[in-house]
Structure 1
Amino acid sequence: MSDILREATEADVEAVTRLVHAAYAEHSDVGLNFTATDQSEAVTRYRLFAGQSWVIDRGGEVVATATVSLPPGEHIQRLSAVARTPKTAWLNQLAVHPTHRGAGLARRLLETAIGFAHDRDARALGLDTAAPALGIRALYAHWGFVERETVQWQGKTYDSVVMSRTVVDDR
């Protein structure tokens, strides 16, 4: 079965909502209230179209997604000096369905995000994730992201670590 990487469309909102609920459920189970654990379709729509979004479609099922905002959204810019740095893009809501992990889908989306940012003259790609999510932080570090600062999102039960990496044409 082949995977199709494509831009997200309005028709994907329901499937992406189900996907992010499944992908982030393990974090909810340990008390981390990521927005994605229970976001509505309206929030999914907002998040998908606040930047450039992609999905990976496997046999008609959306199994992975990511969004890049350039510039980063105003909410993260209020919290993060990294996000306010000129020519910085922001990686949002990278998610792979738990039953499809380990197949390189997240890496493929990351490479797409880096290419998108590079093609628009961004110099850095930033992101934020829950400080207690050590596995996620280790994966991003493996991909070249460096921890830069800590921020606190209103209503979250955890601090978030802001990470960034340079954008180079290593596709």
Structure 2
Amino acid sequence: MLADLVLRPFDPADADAVTGLLHRAYGGLAERGLNFTAATQDAATTVRRAAAGPTWVLWDAADPVATLTLSLPPARMLQDLTAEAAAPGRAWLNQMGVDPAHQGRGLARHLRDVALAHAAAHGVTGIGVDTAESAQDLLDLYDRWGFVRRDVIRWPGKTYPSVVLVRDVR
């Protein structure tokens, strides 16, 4: 499953490749009319978002196939939208994406586990995530991962309300 992949921290020199991965990973959501930032962001935005906390990339040879950022702490703008992001000891999952050709292999789950271990080692007590209210497939995934729905927010410029989900770090 993962034996052929290499996990590395994000390197800004790889921003173009990781941005392409995010575009592929979020392309199906964009086709559904959901304007997730990662679907169209430029490389500079990828670098800026990755700087919010540790970002990991799974590589298949020279190709990135999955990525996840753990924002520590969650972005101030998000904290202004929901008290869940401002809670003490909280971190946030961001720009998590898996190349469609590699979905179903447990790559997102592996990155989630890496993020949870990092969070636990750094005193984080809870992790949040938000996603489009109409993205039932993603909501189902987060439900299976032990996240609980806590709030609904609206990001400026987005075509959809976002559900805020939180889980304990254990």
Pick from 23, 37, 44: which aligns with 2:25? 23
Cα offset, 1:132, TM superposition: 0.5
Pick from 132, 136, 141: which aligns with 2:138? 136
- CA offset digits 1:135-171 (Å, max 9, x no partner): 0010011010111000000000000000010001xxx
Unaligned runs of 5+ in 1: none
Q: Partner of 1:164 in structure 2?
A: 166
Cα offset, 1:51, TM superposition: 1.1
d(CA) in 2 for partners of 1:127, 1:8: 20
In the alignment of these two chains, the number of paired residues is 168
Work out whether 1:116 is the aligned partner of 2:125.
no
Partner amino acid for 2:142?
A: Y
Work out whether 1:2 is the aligned partner of 2:41.
no
CA contact (8 A) 2:52 2:72 kept: no
d(CA) in 2 for partners of 1:10, 1:17: 11
d(CA) in 2 for partners of 1:70, 1:48: 11
Cα offset, 1:55, TM superposition: 0.0
Q: Secondary structure at the match of 2:85?
A: coil
Alignment of 1:30-45 (within 5 A): 30-45=32-47
Indicate the percent of aligned positions where both proteins have the same amino acid.
45
Cα offset, 1:49, TM superposition: 1.2
Q: Partner of 1:70 in structure 2?
A: 72
Partner amino acid for 1:27?
A: L
d(CA) in 2 for partners of 1:41, 1:59: 21
4+ aligned runs moved over 2 Å, structure 1: none
Q: Partner of 1:146 in structure 2?
A: 148
d(CA) in 2 for partners of 1:140, 1:113: 14
Cα offset, 1:45, TM superposition: 0.8
d(CA) in 1 for partners of 2:90, 2:33: 30
d(CA) in 2 for partners of 1:12, 1:59: 13
Cα offset, 1:25, TM superposition: 0.6
d(CA) in 1 for partners of 2:39, 2:69: 17
Pick from 13, 16, 28: which aligns with 1:14? 16
d(CA) in 2 for partners of 1:58, 1:49: 23
- CA offset digits 1:55-90 (Å, max 9, x no partner): 000122100000001111111111011001000011
Q: Partner of 1:79 in structure 2?
A: 81
Q: Secondary structure at the match of 2:86?
A: coil
